[in-house]
Amino acid sequence: MTDRFRGLPAHLECTVREDERDEYLFLLNHDAEASVTVPLEDGGTDLLTGLTASGEITMSPLGAAVVRRTRRA
């Protein structure tokens, strides 16, 4: 687990994949009853909804998100 995921609930699965230009943050909320809010270090685009994700993203119960953002230098 990296520092970026410290403090997140155990039922939230987080994975990061990168290519030459972008970083992709995969988020899966495995809790069937509770929503969870995930702080985002940098804004991006939720590829599942097309919406801008900035500051934080709220995951519904059993929700998923894939946030694309530009890689840091």
pLDDT at residue 40, rounded to an integer? 87
Per-residue confidence band for 9, with pLDDT thresholds at 50, 70 and 90: confident
Closest CA to 3 of 35, 41, 48: 41
The contacts of residue 59 (CB under 8 Å, 6+ apart) are 12, 27, 29, 35, 36, 37, 38, 65
Per-residue confidence band for 42, with pLDDT thresholds at 50, 70 and 90: confident
Q: Which residue has the tokens 């039922």?
A: 11
Average pLDDT of the chain is: 89
What fold does the segment set 3-70 form as a domain? Immunoglobulin-like (2.60.40)
Per-residue confidence band for 13, with pLDDT thresholds at 50, 70 and 90: very high
